[in-house]
Amino acid sequence: MNTLPENSIDVLVVAAHPDDAELSCGGTIAQLTSNGKTVVIVDCTLGELSSRGTIEQRAIETQKANEILKVSGRVNLLMEDGNIELSKDNILSLIRSIRQYRPKIILCNPPHERHPDHENVHKLVRTAVFQSGLTMIKTEFNGKHQLPHRPDKLFSYMQTYDFEPSFYVDISDYFQVKMESIRAYSSQVFVAGEHNTQQPQTFISKPAFMEMIEARARYFGALIGVEYAEAFHSHEPIGFSSFAHWL
């Protein structure tokens, strides 16, 4: 029996910075929304420490990416970029979002990453997901008491560092949408004809980074016999109800 309130969504994607979601699981998001599933993205920071672009530019780019991926909503928790602490305030802030959207699945940054913010958001999400299910943790949203909620599944998407994936998602039909959503962030990544060479080059602003995104999706796709795929890790064992998918 579905006892979840009406505002329950299918998937909540939590990310340290605007563009993390697009780069790591944009294809999966596009696949979900194209199939009528509801996806909301929660960015923890505005990415104010980025060496390229401005906060205003990044906000416009994020809006463009939202439209490309057809997400139902996107919120920013306004935590401090570069200093995402596992503080009570930050945990409660994320719990409020989890209880507001009541997702079945949460996707988040992985535990071992090049960027420390990504690791910190992973810890924050693990903590918030657990505490969100506890009745004794009280939160309010718009002056109303929120009911506890714990999603069924929590998966990490893959960013810079490889990990041994628990499963891959076939994004062959949505790979171009993913790339389009990434190119929305033209202040951050290489977009032919729009590239600003006056600003400092970063890890993700070089053409090779976009090639890496494609090569990796191709490689993961090849491993499961499709054109393109994205990789995820589950902290808990996962199972299938049947072999129906292959039969």
Q: Residues with Cβ < 8 Å from 15, sequence gap 6 or more?
A: 21, 41, 42, 43, 44, 108, 109, 121
Q: Which of 11, 14, 18, 20 binds Zn ion (CB under 5 A)?
A: 20
Distance CA 147, CA 38 (A): 20
Q: In this chain, which residue has its C-beta nearest to Zn ion? A: 17
Q: In the bound complex, what is the minimum distance in angstroms from residue 41's beta carbon to Zn ion?
A: 13
213 binding Zn ion? (CB under 5 A): no
Sequence-ordered list of residues with C-beta below 8 angstroms from that of 238, at least 6 positions apart, any chain = 153, 166, 167
Cβ proximity to Zn ion: between 21 and 68 the closer is: 21
Distance (Å, whole) CA 186 – CA 205: 9
CA distance 60 to 53: 11
Neighbours of 215 (CB within 10 A): 11
Buried b (16+ CB within 10 A) or exposed e, 16-37: bbbbbbbbbbbbbbbbbbeeee
Q: Binding of Zn ion at residue 14 (CB under 5 A)?
A: no
Counting contacts by CB under 5 A, is residue 122 touching Zn ion? no
- Residue from 17, 52, 99, 122 in contact with Zn ion (CB under 5 A): 17
| 16 forms part of the interface with Zn ion (CB under 5 A) | yes
Instruction: Name the residue nearer to Zn ion (CB basis): 147 or 212.
Output: 212
Closest distance of CB 17 from Zn ion, Å: 4
Nearer to Zn ion, 45 or 131 (CB): 45
CB of 72 to Zn ion, least distance (A): 22
> Where is 224: in which H helix or E strand?
none
To Zn ion, the closest distance from the beta carbon of 194 in angstroms equals 21
**Counting contacts by CB under 5 A, is residue 113 touching Zn ion?**
no
The piece of 12-20, 64-72, 144-152, 170-178 that touches Zn ion (CB under 5 A) is 12-20
Q: Measured from the CB atom, is 9 or 16 closer to Zn ion?
A: 16
Q: Do 46 and 58 form a contact (C-beta atoms < 8 A)?
A: yes
Binding site for Zn ion (CB under 5 A): 16-17, 20
